[in-house]
């Protein structure tokens, strides 16, 4: 897994039900192919809601679709709104939101004119900074209900099939067919696992909105192994979700088996008392599913899995204990050598400033990176790095040469690797170094 799970948001709504007329096929094609972004094992899909282009996180674990941010310098009209109270992971008290029941959503010709949404414009819920790309909200299970949906994680492509016959023409014998149960419109699957010496069958929520591969709820029979550490597992509506991270000896889904897979055990106090299906043992997330091409077939109560090139990748985690996020943008001056006749009257040089006979300074907007969280007693914490530190250089390279993805890959790379980091704190530049440490 190349990204730590940043946000896990499942909303339990105080309203008992929202009416949904469902999606309608408005394309002349027999299937719709949509390019998607895959970041931190999460699938981000382009949509239009009320004629405004947005990017939504696909989440089979969410009970409701929602918007938590808007594009910069843009606005959306929501009609017939009313205040509701919602409660989610990490929250002690319900949070106020707006409910709008009649919105037009268009996903490349797959449309719904009465699409219900929750609107929670709270920056603490916004996940864009952590993922490093724009994410405006969550698209829930209503997207999967009436059509066959295929997610090709390797090719970063999602396909919606109009009719079942189209899918049957494909070589679906190459896929393993896994039965699921739909409970409260969300899919559940049984998997076999071994923790220590204990072999057990688990009932897990299929949750592609979870970046981790496996979350388990501790009880009398499900116990965390001795080798573990406390970590910030994600973020709910009202703050961080804390628990323990460890490994399971193996986990089996049909004939697919993974050894030493990472598992997170959120502490009980971070879960709401309502909304957990009886007999549920946890969640199966993107850390597992991104290793497959996945077909969701709710009408036949099944998912279909075919391994991709990432199937045998190791289960890695951030060994620094430091999470980095975006925090706005800033102008950065870059020098570039040129000749006197490089530019002409027709060339736009408004972003350039002459710095000599053959030198131009180019000013471009670059993302600002800051330390978001620090795990207690981790290498980064023991070195002295603090949340809020502005990152200037990482391993002697200017931080602007990195993306969130590249930073995460570096911090998961290899035990014992030296990390050199320069940060700005209270106007002072401070240099630190530490080694990545493998605990589990």
Q: Which of 265-274, 342-351, 394-403 has the lowest mean pLDDT?
A: 342-351
Residues pairing with 107 in the sheet: 110
Q: What are phi and psi of 139, to 5 degrees?
A: -110, 120
Beta strands in 14-127 (DSSP E): 24-25, 31-35, 37-39, 42-49, 52-58, 66-67, 81-88, 95-107, 110-119
Q: How far is it, in rounded angstroms, from Cα 42 to Cα 290?
A: 8
- By the 8 A CB rule, do 203 and 197 touch? no
Residue 331, pLDDT > 80, answer no
Q: What angle do CA 410, 414, 417 make, to 5 degrees?
A: 80
Question: Given pLDDT bands bounded at 50, 70 and 90, which one contains residue 122?
Answer: low
Q: What's the pLDDT at 18?
A: 46
- pLDDT for position 410: 97
Distance CA 41, CA 48 (A): 23
pLDDT tens sequence across 190-219: 999 999 888 999 999 999 999 999 999 998
**Domains of the chain, earliest start first:** 11-178 (2.40.70.10), 180-291 (2.40.70.10), 322-331+367-435 (2.30.42.10)
Q: pLDDT at residue 317 above 50? A: yes
**Residue 61 near residue 114, CB atoms below 8 Å:** no
- How many other C-beta atoms can be found within 10 angstroms of the C-beta atom of residue 121? 12
CA pair distance 271, 126, nearest whole angstrom: 20
Region 218-239: mean pLDDT is 85
Residues 410-420: what's their mean pLDDT? 96
Residue 163's pLDDT is what? 87
The 3-state secondary structure of 205-269 reads EECCCCCCCEEECCCCCCCCCCCCEEEEEEEECCEEEEEEEEEEEEEEECCEEEEEEEEEEECHH
Q: What percent of the chain has pLDDT over 90?
A: 61
pLDDT of residue 346: 40
> Which tokens belong to 435?
């080694």
Q: What is residue 147's DSSP assignment?
A: S
Of residues 66 and 169, more confidence is placed in 66
Q: Name the least confident of 29-43, 127-141, 261-275, 422-436.
A: 261-275
3-state secondary structure of 205: strand
- In this predicted structure, the answer to whether residue 176 has a pLDDT above a threshold of 90 is yes
Residue 356 has pLDDT above 70, yes or no: no
- What residue has token string 């089996």? 252
Q: Compute the average pLDDT of residues 36-63.
A: 95
- CB-CB contact of 103 with 50 (8 Å): yes
Contact 287, 262 (CB under 8 A): yes
pTM summary value:
0.87
Give the chain's length: 440
Segment holding 418, helix H or strand E: strand 418-425
């Amino acid at each position: 897994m190349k990204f730590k799970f940043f946000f896990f948001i499942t909303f339990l709504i105080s309203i008992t039900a929202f009416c949904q007329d469902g999606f309608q096929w408005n394309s002349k094609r027999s299937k719709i192919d949509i390019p998607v972004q895959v970041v931190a094992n999460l699938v981000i899909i382009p949509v239009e809601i009320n004629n405004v282009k947005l990017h939504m996180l696909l989440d089979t674990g969410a009970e409701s679709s929602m918007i938590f941010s808007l594009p910069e310098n843009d606005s959306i009209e929501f009609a017939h709104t009313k205040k509701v109270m919602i409660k989610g992971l990490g929250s002690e008290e319900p949070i106020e939101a707006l409910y709008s029941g009649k919105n037009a959503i268009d996903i490349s010709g797959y449309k719904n004119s009465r699409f219900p949404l929750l609107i929670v414009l709270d920056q603490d819920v916004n996940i864009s900074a952590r993922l490093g790309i724009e994410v405006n909200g969550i698209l829930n299970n209503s997207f999967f209900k009436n059509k066959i949906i295929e997610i090709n994680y390797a090719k970063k492509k999602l396909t919606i099939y109009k009719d079942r016959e189209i899918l049957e023409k494909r070589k679906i014998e190459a896929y393993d067919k896994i039965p699921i149960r739909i409970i409260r419109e969300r899919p559940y699957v049984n998997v076999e696992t071994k923790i220590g010496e204990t072999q057990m069958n688990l009932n897990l929520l299929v949750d592609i909105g979870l970046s981790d591969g496996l979350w388990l709820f501790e009880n009398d029979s499900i116990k965390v192994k001795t080798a573990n550490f406390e970590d910030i597992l994600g973020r709910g509506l009202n703050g961080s979700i804390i628990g323990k991270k460890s490994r399971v000896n193996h986990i089996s889904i049909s004939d697919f088996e993974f050894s030493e897979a990472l598992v997170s055990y959120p502490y009980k106090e971070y879960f709401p008392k309502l909304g957990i299906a009886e007999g549920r043992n946890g969640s199966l997330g993107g850390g597992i599913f991104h290793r497959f091409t996945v077909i969701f077939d709710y009408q036949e109560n099944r998912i279909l899995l075919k391994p991709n090139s990432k199937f045998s990748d190791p289960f890695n985690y951030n060994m620094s204990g430091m999470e980095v996020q975006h925090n706005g943008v800033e102008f950065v001056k870059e020098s570039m050598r040129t000749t006197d006749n490089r530019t002409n009257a027709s060339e736009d040089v408004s972003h350039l400033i002459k710095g000599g006979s053959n030198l131009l300074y180019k000013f471009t907007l670059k993302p600002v990176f800051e330390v978001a969280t620090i795990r207690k007693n981790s290498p980064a914490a023991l070195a002295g790095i603090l949340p809020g530190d502005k990152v200037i250089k990482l391993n002697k390279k200017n931080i602007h040469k990195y993306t969130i993805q590249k930073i995460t890959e570096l911090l998961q790379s290899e035990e014992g690797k030296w990390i050199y980091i320069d940060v700005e704190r209270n106007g002072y530049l401070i240099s630190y170094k530490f080694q990545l440490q493998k605990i589990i």
